[in-house]
Amino acid sequence: MEHNQNNFRTEYTVTPYTLALLPVQDGSKVYSRIIELEGEFICPLKPTDIIKKSCEYLGVSYEGRRSGTKKITGFTHKAPITIDPSGSLFFFPTASPLRPQCIWLAHDHILSSTRLDSKQTTVVLRNKQSIVVNMSISSFKTQLHRTAFLKTKLLPRLEEIQRMLQDLANQLDWAQTAEVPSKYTLLRRI
């Protein structure tokens, strides 16, 4: 595999611009073809390794994220992963993450999907680029719906915590304001 320095990254962390991580075979090694909104890159890491490192970059483990998905949704196989819920970085695998042909797709960047044949689905990404995934349309839609289900369960919890934090901040502001001595003094008239 030839690498153009402009489109080769030795490391990569998923961002809100990441649409898909696809495996690319190079001899016995599996690389990643990274599709972003404005371009593509090759990285010498497997797609699942990029997902794992992206979780770690934000201070959580991939296994912790998988465990969280299982606790919230009950999903154990081909479970979607929340890399960063505040940035809406929810990804799902097209196969077992242990398999080299596993593709990871960003839930928010899927525009449409159509059946190519009984075992393949064409997926149109937000940048209008089409890719073919080796899974039936029904399996693909199941993965899409499972990821949406995870989001609908997790995001309200985060919003509740955010409201509680805002309430606490407001209470602290009020308490500090009440403790500040007045800048004005009353003058007594004699």
Report the 10 Å Cβ neighbour count for 76. 9
- pLDDT band (50, 70, 90) for residue 34: very high
For residue 174, the model assigns a pLDDT of 72
Least reliable range by pLDDT among 108-112, 115-119, 141-145, 180-184: 180-184
Contacts of 156 (CB under 8 A, 6+ apart): none
For residue 128, the model assigns a pLDDT of 97
Buried b (16+ CB within 10 A) or exposed e, 142-153: ebbebbeebbee
Hey, what amino acid is at 21?
L
Cα 85 to Cα 78: distance, rounded to the nearest angstrom: 19
For residue 4, the model assigns a pLDDT of 57
User: 189 or 173: which carries more pLDDT confidence?
Assistant: 173
Burial (0-12, 13-18, 19+ Cβ within 10 Å), 91: buried
Closest by CA to 147, choosing from 101, 84, 82, is 82
Query: Which residue's entry shows tokens 């890399």?
Result: 83
Per residue in 45-103, pLDDT tens? 999 999 999 999 999 999 999 999 999 999 999 999 999 988 889 999 999 999 999 99
For residue 117, the model assigns a pLDDT of 96
* pLDDT above 90: residue 158: no
Q: What is the pTM of this model?
A: 0.84
52 vs 13, 56, 63, 145, CA distance in Å?
9, 6, 8, 22
Backbone angles phi, psi at 132, to 5 degrees: -105, 130
Cα 94 to Cα 96: distance, rounded to the nearest angstrom: 7
For residue 170, the model assigns a pLDDT of 83
Q: Where are the alpha helices (DSSP H) in 61-184?
A: 62-73, 137-179
